[in-house]
Amino acid sequence: MHNLLFLLLEYLVSALIILLALRFMKKEGAYVALTTLIIASNLGVAKLFNLFGMEVTAANMSMGMAFVIYSIITEVYGQSEGRKAVWIGFFAQFAFLSLGLIYTGYMPSQNDLAQNYLSQAFSLTPRIALGSWIAFLVSGYVAVWVYSMLKGKTKIWMRNNASTKIGQIVDNMIFVTIAFAGLVDWTTYFQIFLTTTLMEIALDYVDTWVVYVGIKFLKNDGSNGVDSESINSQKA
């Protein structure tokens, strides 16, 4: 019950970060919220806890909510802006991890209190770092593409759930394969993939309302709420 309550708290805080950023900063707020959630997820991924008999990483919720931002941006501004969001998120992740590794490289003084924490937080092997970066880029592009393809053909809740779920499956498959293939047996490999994917899919069902409210906030901003791709297609 304790972990479930904190998972609910993480969900509410993640949703609040997104909606407050969109409400007061509009389009720029989407990128602020995205980079915030991604950086937080890079810290939380090392934290493991038990939930319903499964071992879960603390970053599942916050990272899943990052995909919500892809849906909102793609809905309001189009596929090209959704791809831009993916690259902004990737840059934030790359910069955060790169600087973190540099911080750990300094020789600590005798009064230093942070070296052990930083070493643990940024102790990524090259395979895990590579897997994380490739998975993030590919899954983000896939999620934006799926959403864009379903736009105008399905309801918002349907394309949000489809794009988010497919993107997260791709993300987990690429990351687990690059990070763990050959290092663990196939049974463990599939357990890691299935538990992470099932948990993220289950959590997806509670984020749709955030998409609707976020889209409303952006479309109410007359100067920015324009899908240039839709306008160009109408002119053609």
Report residue 223's pLDDT band, with 50, 70 and 90 as the boundaries: low
Lowest pLDDT segment from 1-5, 28-32, 175-179: 175-179
Name the residue with higher pLDDT: 51 or 214: 214
- As a whole number of angstroms, the distance between CA 76 and CA 219 comes to 7
Collapse the DSSP code of 146 into the 3-class scheme (helix H, G, I; strand E, B; otherwise coil) and give the result.
Answer: helix
Domains, the chain: 2-104+121-227 (1.10.1760)
Question: Which pLDDT does position 206 carry in this prediction?
Answer: 84
- Dihedral of CA 55/176/35/144: which sign? negative
Question: Which pLDDT does position 226 carry in this prediction?
Answer: 54
Mean pLDDT of the chain: 86
Question: Which pLDDT does position 15 carry in this prediction?
Answer: 95
144-174 confidence digits (pLDDT tens): 999 999 998 999 999 999 999 999 899 989 9
- As a whole number of angstroms, the distance between CA 32 and CA 48 comes to 26
Q: What's the mean pLDDT in 124-136?
A: 80
DSSP secondary structure letters along 5-50: HHHHHHHHHHHHHHHHHHHHHHHHHHHHHHHHHHHHHHHHTT-EEE
Q: What's the mean pLDDT in 123-133?
A: 76
